[in-house]
Amino acid sequence: MKRLLPLLALVVLVCGCATSQAMREPRSILQSGLVDDPKEASRLAKKLTDKDIAALLDADIRAKVPTKLAVAGISEWYGWNDCDPRHVATGAEELQRWEALADGVPHIEGVMPVTSLSTGRAHPKVHDLRTAAANMGCELLLVYYMTDSAVDNYTDAAVLYWTFVGLWVAPGNMYEHRTVVQAIVVDCRTGVILGTATGDSHLKAACPASYGRLQEEKLAEGARKKAMDDLLKGCKPLLKAIVSKAEQPRRG
């Protein structure tokens, strides 16, 4: 066995078997079809190219404050059509995080989750979510869209898999997972998008093929958490800016 290991190492160096499949780009909230108003879609398309974490759009709209903030989550569902956005329930832990964020924003008096029950649709549009938020007495709606992308490539160490033992000890697979979360804040009265924020996380790790499923699940969970952390970090200044603008006198 001691003589075999150096030989196997030499085979890895000489032959190798690494692959380099490209990870597909996660879809944007605009590509999801949630925003179907042509004017708002055009304004959003321009802002999504902005590198700012959180940014106001250029509409001269003053939200009515104080108010509660309605929050709706949409996740990309891998179904028959590969990419099928579905409304997802905001869990208790996640709701607490949104409430903690709202506590630090003047004139935001709490958070109301928008559920699929309140919209009555499996594939809601922003208009449906906005209507549900307005029915709950909210002047502002925050919609976040989470999408995932993953890829699995062989490393040079994968050549050791032919020893069978290598399936458990050789880091022959490189697993990658990326999660992007994009949010828009909508004025419920007018339907105008007031601002955007983005969270992004890209994680990767090498491990033996036998533990691949566990590694994929770990990366997915970690990437989603980090992306949401990043989003929340951007949403706070965005909401403060929207409230600050609401308090300013209108132009001319």
CATH classification of the domain holding 77: 3.40.50
Enclosing domain of residue 83: 25-147+180-199+232-247
Tell me which amino acid residue 192 is.
V
Say what the pLDDT of residue 4 is: 41
Q: Is the pLDDT of residue 239 over 70?
A: yes
In this predicted structure, which of 50-54, 68-72, 137-141, 232-236 has the lowest mean pLDDT? 50-54
SS3 60: coil
- Eight-class DSSP state of 139: S
* Stretch 46-72: mean pLDDT: 81
Q: Which residue has the higher pLDDT, 86 or 139?
A: 139
Q: Is residue 73 part of a domain?
A: yes
Q: Is residue 153 part of a domain?
A: no
Q: Which residue has 């309140």 as its token pair?
A: 118
Stated pTM of the model: 0.84
Q: Which residue has 């499996």 as its token pair?
A: 122
Q: Is residue 84 part of a domain?
A: yes
Which pair of structure tokens corresponds to residue 2? 């001691």
| Widest pairwise Cα distance in the chain | 85
Percent of the chain with pLDDT over 90: 44
Most confident of 19-28, 115-124, 135-144, 154-163: 135-144
- Asked if residue 25 lies in contact with residue 206, where contact means CB atoms within 8 angstroms, the answer is no
Q: Is the pLDDT of residue 63 over 60?
A: yes
In this predicted structure, which of 85-99, 132-146, 219-233 has the lowest mean pLDDT? 85-99
Q: If pLDDT is split at 50, 70 and 90, which confidence band does 83 have? A: low
Say what the pLDDT of residue 177 is: 94
Q: Is residue 2 part of a domain?
A: no
Say what the pLDDT of residue 135 is: 93
Q: Is residue 211 part of a domain?
A: no
Say what the pLDDT of residue 38 is: 87
Alpha carbon 92 to chain centroid, angstroms? 18
In this predicted structure, which of 61-65, 150-154, 233-237 has the lowest mean pLDDT? 61-65
Say what the pLDDT of residue 249 is: 65
Which pair of structure tokens corresponds to residue 172? 């022959």
Say what the pLDDT of residue 88 is: 74
Q: What are phi and psi of 83, to 5 degrees?
A: -125, 105
User: How many domains are contained in the chain?
Assistant: 1
Q: If pLDDT is split at 50, 70 and 90, which confidence band does 6 have? A: very low
Say what the pLDDT of residue 80 is: 37
Q: Is residue 5 part of a domain?
A: no
Which pair of structure tokens corresponds to residue 101? 């964020």
Q: Is residue 39 part of a domain?
A: yes
Which pair of structure tokens corresponds to residue 143? 């919609």
Say what the pLDDT of residue 223 is: 95
Cα–Cα distance, 42 to 101 (Å, whole number): 29
Q: Is residue 105 part of a domain?
A: yes
Cα–Cα distance, 152 to 23 (Å, whole number): 9
Q: If pLDDT is split at 50, 70 and 90, which confidence band does 108 have? A: very high
Q: What are phi and psi of 74, to 5 degrees?
A: -125, 130
Say what the pLDDT of residue 123 is: 78
